[in-house]
Structure 1
């Protein structure tokens, strides 16, 4: 998981996670909350899929 292709693949998801954390403080009201939720779903889903795939790969080995 620490190879360069994996790290470059994870960079956009980490960027989305940072934007999701900052959005409610920068954008006011419901738009900030909606931006945070929308941008936060992508990296959380990708992270859970990577961890799930990693656990399944360990059982096969």
Structure 2
């Protein structure tokens, strides 16, 4: 599982998908839940982006 998550295509998918969800979530989901969803997805996207830069 670790080798799958470390592959470049999976990291790109995680980065882009979570970035899009983080950008759209506050507009689709109302209130605190939308903001927390955006923050959570943003953190995952940043983690994947950092892994892409390191590798």
**What 5-or-longer segments of structure 2 have no aligned partner?**
1-6
Q: Which has the higher contact order (CA 8 A, sep 6+)?
A: 2
The CA RMSD over aligned residues, in Å, is 1.5
TM-score, with structure 1 as normaliser: 0.66
Q: Deviations over 1:13-50 (max 9, x none)?
A: 21111001000000011000000000110011121232
What's the TM-score, normalizing by structure 2? 0.72
Say how many residue pairs are matched: 48
User: Is the radius of gyration larger for structure 1 or structure 2?
Assistant: 1
SS at match of 1:40: helix
